[in-house]
Amino acid sequence: MPVQLKTLIPLFAVFIILFLIARHFLIPDSFGKYGHYRANSIDEIAALPINYAGKAVCIDCHDTEAELLASDAHAGLSCEVCHGPNAKHADDYEIKEYLIKQGTREFCGRCHSLNPARKIEVINQIDIKEHHPEKENCIDCHNPHAVWELKE
């Protein structure tokens, strides 16, 4: 064997062995359990906290509102569409600072302002500027939980 290789082959072998040792320690434990990824990351993602509590949790306590809501056109809506994400309130009833009580022309207009891209079969629409301009907000007349129970 040439003298050069007598030095080079052991040298490269050392490099490769060092790499394999480093590799052994650098690969995370759960890597490759299900596929070419860190299996623990699935659990980490699943364990992230929620912000929207979900309608089922809301109506557990707010049963009168739920009953009213179910009786009218907004029956399909989830509470947090209008009231905002409130998992914190669901955990601790006293935390109410994130609760939103909407009812402005702008907010209701997100769904109900005239837009030709909205199918009339799907959603009732009005001209939010022209519709009863003497009133300031939609909730001045409409009860959002039972929209056709109009206030006078």
- Cβ of residue 78: shortest distance to other proteins, in angstroms? 5
Among 18, 34, 64, 136, binds other proteins (CB under 8 A): 34
Applying CB under 8 A, does 31 fall inside the site for other proteins?
A: yes
d(CA 78, CA 76): 7
Cβ atoms of 113 and 125 within 8 Å: the answer is yes
Among 65, 118, 141, 143, binds other proteins (CB under 8 A): 118
The 3-state DSSP class for residue 62 equals coil
CB closer to other proteins, 7 vs 64: 7
Name the CA dihedral angle for 139, 77, 86, 43, rounded to a multiple of 10 degrees. -160
Q: What is the DSSP string of 88-151?
A: HHHH-TT--TT------HHHHHHHHB--TTS-TTT---B-TTTSSTTSSSGGGT-BTTBTTS--
Applying CB under 8 A, does 71 fall inside the site for other proteins?
A: no
CB closer to other proteins, 1 vs 150: 1
Applying CB under 8 A, does 7 fall inside the site for other proteins?
A: yes
Applying CB under 8 A, does 62 fall inside the site for other proteins?
A: no
Name the CA dihedral angle for 94, 89, 108, 56, rounded to a multiple of 10 degrees. -130
Stretch that binds other proteins, among 4-12, 88-96, 132-140, 144-152 (CB under 8 A): 4-12
d(CA 139, CA 151): 9
Among 95, 123, 133, 136, binds other proteins (CB under 8 A): 123
Task: List residues near other proteins by CB under 8 A.
Answer: 2-8, 11-12, 15, 19, 22-23, 26-28, 31, 34-38, 41-42, 44-52, 54-55, 76-78, 80-81, 84-85, 109-111, 113, 115-119, 122-123
